[in-house]
Amino acid sequence: MKYFAKKLAGFIATLLAVSFLVFLAFAVIPGDPATAMLGTQATPERVEALREEMGLSDPLAVRYVRWAADFVRGDFGTSYSYHIPVTQMIGDKLPVTLTLTVLSFLLIVCISLPLGITCARRCGGMLDHVIVVANQIVMAVPGFFSGILLTLVFGLILHWFTPGGYVSYRTDWWRFLGYLFFPSLAIALPKIAMTTKLLRTSVLAETKLDYVRTAYSRGNGTKAVLYRHVLKNALIPVMTFLGMALTDMVAGSIIVEQVFNIPGLGRILLTSISNRDYPVVQAIIVCIAFLVISINFLVDLLYKLVDPRITIE
Amino acid sequence: MLDVIDLNLEFHDHLVPETVVYDFDLHMEPGEIVGLVGESGSGKSMTALAIAGLLSRHDMQKRGQILFEGKDLLHCRRSELRELQGDDIAIIFQEPMTSLNPVYRVGPQVEEALRIHRPELSAEEIRQRAMEMLKEVDLEDAQRVYDSYPHQLSGGMRQRVMIAAAMICDPKLLIADEPTTALDVTVQAQIVKLLRRINREKKTAILFISHDLSLIRQLCKRVVVMQGGNIVESGTIEEIYEHPRMAYTKKLIAAIPGYEKKYDSGEPNLRQNEILRVEDVRIRFALERHSLLEKRKYKEVLKGVSLTVREGEVLGLVGESGCGKSTLAKVILGLEKPDEGSVFHQSQRPQMVFQDPYGSLNPARKVGWILEEPLRIRGGMTGQEKKQRVRFMLEKVGLEEKIAERYPRQLSGGQRQRVCLAAALMLGPRLLVADEAVSALDVTIQGQILELLFSLKKEMGLAILFISHDMRVVYQVSDRVLVMKDGLIVESGDVDDVYFAPKHPYTKELLAAAALQEEKGGERDAGTVLS
Amino acid sequence: MMGAILTGVMLLFVLVGFFWTPYDPEAMDRSVKLAGVSLSHPMGCDNFGRDILSRVLKGSGTTLLVAVGTVSIGTACGILLGAFTGYFGGLVDEIFMRINDALFAFPSILLGLVFISLLGSGKYNVIIALGIAFIPSFARIVRSEFIRCKNMDYVRSARLAGAGDLRIMFVHILPNIMTVLSSSIMIGFNNAVLAEAGMSYLGIGVQPPDASLGRMLSEAQTYLFSAPGYAIFPGVVLILMVLGFSLLSEGLKE
């Protein structure tokens, strides 16, 4: 309970810190939001009026509190280029990116855990060697290039899916999921390789520890030692890695969305960056930050469940 | 019951096969306690693991026979071996912390062997048995221990848990691989008592493996001495300890620290000038807070310690782990600032020899560089002069000149400790603090380093603050002695007074624990006084 | 070993690209538009009829340049920050680590995107953006190594020999963390190459006329079916580069 309270406090502190940093970053950039909204032809009087209206002449701290309060209420500001609320712009894109991330996370867990355990059990065998080499290569393939290769092989040559044939989840949930399969595979592939490798190393390292010897000395068989004693210990570093991988995948999905032409958060982020549409960029960054920090918070809680040695630092 | 015949163990992981155990023979009767003694690298642990059936490495070749009640453990099927493991043959190890699975509670780990070998028992029966077993190994609050994780227990408690887990199926043979080495002396004594009681009450045969000859003598009837994978000598305790035949055994037995003054600290008339005075030093560390609102709590590590060291004397400081003796050393050396009290040095800064010769030499630098460092920092010497000084010091500590070109990891433990000594003496200090300086070394090496330390001391007129947990070594080296407990000095005085007429109950307890490992023969004064 | 050879070959490849390319990477030749693999154009030509091999040579040079710049900024700042916070600890360390943790939680490419959106795109801005984005991870590694080392006995004996804090930090401790550091520098190269390629692929990294592997890949995607080589060759070179660094990092760990 104390652990939970402490972690929750840390979670909130980090959220505040990050939101302030993001706010600060966008507050100090050259260029005046009022001018940006009205365009360069606007009269100085109108710009000044808008500045007053937006509260731009208030001190930084006041502006931050107002901005944060708006944010909590779900008001993310207004887009410079489209003049519509940011909430509206990113609201229906968020589920797309989230689904993509969750789907690739599931792929990672379902593929790499059995693979890693198999490798460790047959350490030194033929299968192990093949997987180790394949891992090393797959790890080096960036997500967008494996996306391009998947498009070429499964889309253009085998015709298993239509490149660019994205179906919105509002139209057909299942076809939406079907289209997302290859993109999430592209995101997941390097992470699958890394997780497999990490689990293999971790299991092998644990196997050398004293408590494994104790377990054998009580008459346990190899399988019992592996599943009842080693696995829980070996999963601890894997969990940490998966937490970090999850945050990485949010970024990875932004690129892979581009490869497969999926209208998710990444698409808006990119157009907003090139249009210098700061409220949108700011909102998306804060959303992703929120997601990332929440994931880390959950991983920390999960950690406590698996490893009793964890105490508050 | 157990017959090991011509056991040979060979590693094949290098180009040249490396034999770690040659032609090992051992016979054990039911209910017997046999000691297996040797220094590190003697192959004693490998033998223990082989008997317990725990050497399953593919790159290892095992020849010979290990007959347990007629069954050959080396050549039987793995499933047959597994039936015996944990049921008839159990083993406990040196490090109870790492030998227990860190992510599971203690209870299920104690029960495990029972669950494997007595599947007919219900969960409740198994639990009951585990609770009984925890009580039997003198764990008072069995329920709390049952629900704890290993890291929440003390070292002694963990070893008791290990013993409970090993004994739960009433094995016929218990293999104990250095079970007390990682523990404090008073706890060590308790564990040895417990093992002896188990042997008496349950008629469990015990194969006791240790580097500590006095411990073996205390516990065992017969002993096997190993060196470099060979059996040097074996026989009853009397035969081996009273009439050792082989040179190596004689050397080992001579190296057992007893209550005799081995090291003379030179002219007492030198010891007039104080070179260090510590006055009422207190140190506290902040404890972790459970919430931000809670007031910060402190743990006092030193609760007002005063002492003086006079020129040319050896002051012993004994105490168990956690008593604050290392913190005191840091304060004296100026590595830690006291919260209260003061430290006065008569001459320049004292130097120190650390316990772990592996950690106290910078692994990224060559020995020569390490030895030159104090000179470089002080300045005022040409490169040639520095090199010369390094050569001189190396010679002083009995090392060859070419050692200067090596990295610390290329040296043996004894060599490293010599380098540490040379580094400490580089600037010619008047006071040397030796914190457990020989504790990590094998007994024979221990003797050599002490020899060297004292010849240098006499030559250079050094004063030494000798910190150790080992009552006997402290007696051998010290002129005066301080006994420390929980941040306080509970007794101090001339070494003979403290050892032969102890006043404080804790001093008596320490001496009793040390005497438990002491030879039974009464040829020494201490033995009679303490018994 | 394998890593060293592969990295060596790739470095040679890049070096050749700096001084010599078979064709001018910018020269367009309509007659060989999207041409396949041939003797005169070993990797074929792109949609403007530019020689892909020449562009890959130039592009991998750009990528490596960005990676070197990025990792240098990240390592230098990371060592300084990590060393001081790890060695001295205290309140500054506490505050710094909070910020660092927050930044570390971000994927570096995303941090890069934020900085790019503030600084604008282009080769040097990418180096600065990614360099800053890489600082937290290096600082974290260096800091934890310093915390591990600062209580070692050899540091105590250095202090007893009279060494000051700076000397202990940079003469005594730093050489001991080199193994860990050099392995993470290689991982840093690995990540920098990937991040640069990713950003250029998205069109917000290196800008034309600079050739870049990521940008080539994004352009090649349109012609994926008619000229698969246009995408595959830059991709393979990219993979080989990353593979070299990751193998090297593992070799250094051992």
Q: What is the pLDDT of residue A88?
A: 82
Global pTM reads 0.83
Range with the poorest average pLDDT among A267-271, B294-298, C213-217: B294-298
Give the count of alpha carbons within 13 A of B78, CB side only: 8
Cβ–Cβ contact B85 with A under 8 A: yes
Cβ–Cβ contact C242 with A under 8 A: yes
Q: Cβ of B356 and C153 within 8 Å?
A: yes
Average pLDDT in chain A: 84
Q: What is the pLDDT of residue B519?
A: 41
Of C153, C172, C175, the CB nearest to B360: C153
Give CA–CA dist B343/B327, Å, rounded: 13
Largest alpha-carbon pair distance within chain A? 86
**β-pairing verdict for B33-37 and B205-210:** parallel
Cβ–Cβ contact C222 with A under 8 A: no
Name which residue leads in pLDDT, B147 or A2. Answer: B147
Of B54, B112, B165, the CB nearest to A213: B54
Of B91, B101, B166, the CB nearest to A229: B101
Instruction: Give the count of domains, chain C.
Output: 1
CA-closest candidate to residue C137, choices C176, C179, C81: C81
Chain B: residue whose CA lies nearest to C156: B335
Q: Cβ of C105 and A292 within 8 Å?
A: yes
Q: Which domain holds residue C78?
A: 57-253
A298 burial class (0-12, 13-18, 19+ CB within 10 angstroms)? middle
Assign domain B257-350+429-500 to a CATH class.
alpha beta
Range with the poorest average pLDDT among B141-145, B215-219, B251-255: B251-255
Q: What is the pLDDT of residue B531?
A: 29
Of C107, C201, C232, the CB nearest to A144: C201
Name which residue leads in pLDDT, B453 or C19. Answer: B453
Amino acid at A140: A
Q: Which of A8-12, B113-117, C23-27, C241-245 has the highest mean pLDDT?
A: B113-117
Q: Is B440:B356 a contact under the CB 8 Å cutoff?
A: yes
B276 — phi, psi (to 5°)? -145, 130
Amino acid at A243: G
Task: Give the neighbours of chain A: at least 3 Cβ pairs within 8 Å.
Answer: B, C
Q: Is C242:A142 a contact under the CB 8 Å cutoff?
A: yes
Q: Cβ of A17 and C98 within 8 Å?
A: yes
pLDDT at A193 over 90: yes
* Structure confidence by residue, pLDDT tens digits, B43-99: 888 899 999 988 875 667 888 999 999 889 888 888 889 999 999 999 999 888 889
CB burial of B398-433 (b: ≥16 within 10 Å; e: otherwise) equals bbeeebbebebeebebbbbbbbbbbbbbbbebbbbb
Q: What is the dihedral of CA A59, A65, A66, A71, to 10 degrees?
A: 140
The percent of residues in chain B predicted with pLDDT above 70, rounded, is 91
Of A14, A139, A288, the CB nearest to C110: A288
Chain A: residue whose CA lies nearest to B94: A210
Of B85, B98, B101, the CB nearest to A217: B85
Interface of A with C in 35-94 (CB under 8 A): none
All structural domains of chain A with their residue ranges:
2-72, 86-306
Q: What is the CATH number of the domain that holds C246?
A: 1.10.3720.10
**Distance between the two ends of chain B, CA-based, in angstroms?**
36
Among A23, A101, A145, A201, pick the best mutation site for testing chain C contact (most C Cβ within 10 A).
A145
* Structure confidence by residue, pLDDT tens digits, B373-429: 999 998 888 889 999 999 999 998 989 988 899 999 888 888 999 999 999 998 888
All structural domains of chain B with their residue ranges:
100-170, 257-350+429-500, 363-427
**β-pairing verdict for B230-236 and B222-227:** antiparallel
**ipTM of the modeled complex:** 0.81
CB pairs < 8 Å spanning A and C: 115
Chain B: residue whose CA lies nearest to C154: B360
Average pLDDT in chain C: 83
**β-pairing verdict for B89-92 and B71-72:** unpaired
Q: Is A166:A100 a contact under the CB 8 Å cutoff?
A: no
Residue B490 banded pLDDT, cuts 50, 70, 90? very high
Among B355, B362, B417, B430, pick the best mutation site for testing chain C contact (most C Cβ within 10 A).
B362
Cβ–Cβ contact A259 with C under 8 A: yes
Q: Cβ of B291 and A306 within 8 Å?
A: no
* Structure confidence by residue, pLDDT tens digits, A24-55: 877 776 666 666 666 666 677 777 777 777 66
B74 — phi, psi (to 5°)? -75, -30
CA B453 to chain centre: 20
Q: Residue B133 belongs to what H/E stretch?
A: helix B123-136
Q: Specify which residues C51 forms β-bridges with.
A: C45
CB burial of C86-122 (b: ≥16 within 10 Å; e: otherwise) equals bbeeeeebeebbeebbbbbbbbbbbbbbbbbbbeebb
pLDDT at B106 over 90: yes
Task: Decide which of 1.10.132.10, 3.50.50.60, 1.10.10.10, 1.10.3720.10 is the CATH code for A86-306.
Answer: 1.10.3720.10
Cβ–Cβ contact A288 with C under 8 A: yes
Give CA–CA dist A312/A3, Å, rounded: 6
Q: 3-class SS at C27?
A: coil
CB pairs < 8 Å spanning B and C: 55
Of C157, C162, C167, the CB nearest to B378: C162
Q: What is the pLDDT of residue B164?
A: 94
Q: Residue B494 belongs to what H/E stretch?
A: strand B488-494
* Structure confidence by residue, pLDDT tens digits, B3-15: 999 999 888 766 7
Q: Cβ of B100 and A214 within 8 Å?
A: yes
Cβ–Cβ contact C6 with A under 8 A: no
Q: What is the pLDDT of residue B57?
A: 59
Of B330, B374, B424, the CB nearest to C162: B374
Q: What is the dihedral of CA B397, B402, B405, B406, to 10 degrees?
A: -70
Cβ–Cβ contact A44 with B under 8 A: no
* Structure confidence by residue, pLDDT tens digits, C129-187: 889 888 888 998 999 899 888 888 899 989 888 888 999 999 999 999 988 898 889 88
Q: Is B432:B463 a contact under the CB 8 Å cutoff?
A: yes
Give CA–CA dist B225/B44, Å, rounded: 9
CB burial of A232-250 (b: ≥16 within 10 Å; e: otherwise) equals bbbbbebeebbbbbbbbbb
pLDDT at B528 over 50: no
Output DSSP code: residue C171.
I
Cβ–Cβ contact B290 with A under 8 A: yes
Q: Cβ of C161 and B374 within 8 Å?
A: yes
Q: Could you tell me the CA-to-CA distances from B35 to B32, B94, B226, B236, B309 in Å, in that order? A: 10, 15, 11, 10, 42
Q: What is the pLDDT of residue B269?
A: 56
Neighboring chain C residues of A259 at a CB cutoff of 8 Å: 221
Interface of A with B in 231-260 (CB under 8 A): 232-233, 236
Q: What is the pLDDT of residue A55?
A: 67
| B236: its two tokens | 């009853």
Cβ–Cβ contact B76 with A under 8 A: no
Average pLDDT over residues A65-74: 82
Average pLDDT over residues B440-454: 85
Name which residue leads in pLDDT, C102 or B24. Answer: B24
pLDDT at B486 over 80: yes
SS3 sequence of chain A: CHHHHHHHHHHHHHHHHHHHHHHHHHHCCCCCHHHHHHCCCCCHHHHHHHHHHHCCCCCHHHHHHHHHHHHHHCCCCECCCCCCEHHHHHHCCHHHHHHHHHHHHHHHHHHHHHHHHHHHHCCCCHHHHHHHHHHHHHHCCCHHHHHHHHHHHHHHHCCCCCCCCCCCCCCCHHHHHHHHHHHHHHHHHHHHHHHHHHHHHHHHHHHCCHHHHHHHHCCCCHHHHHHHHHHHHHHHHHHHHHHHHHHHHHHHHHHHHHHCCCCCHHHHHHHHHHHCCHHHHHHHHHHHHHHHHHHHHHHHHHHHHHCCCCCCC
Q: What is the pLDDT of residue A108?
A: 94
Give DSSP secondary structure letters for B251-318.
Answer: HHHHHS--SS-------GGGTTSEEEEEEEEEEEEEPPPSSSSSPPPEEEEEEEEEEEEETT-EEEEE
Q: What is the pLDDT of residue A283?
A: 85
Average pLDDT over residues B470-480: 87
C108-119 helix and A265-275 helix, angle to the nearest 10 degrees: 30
Cβ–Cβ contact B161 with A under 8 A: no
Q: What is the pLDDT of residue A29?
A: 67
pLDDT at A159 over 70: yes
Output DSSP code: residue C46.
-
Chain A: residue whose CA lies nearest to C246: A140
Q: Helical H runs in chain C?
A: 2-19, 52-88, 90-105, 108-119, 123-150, 153-160, 165-167, 178-201, 213-220, 228-253
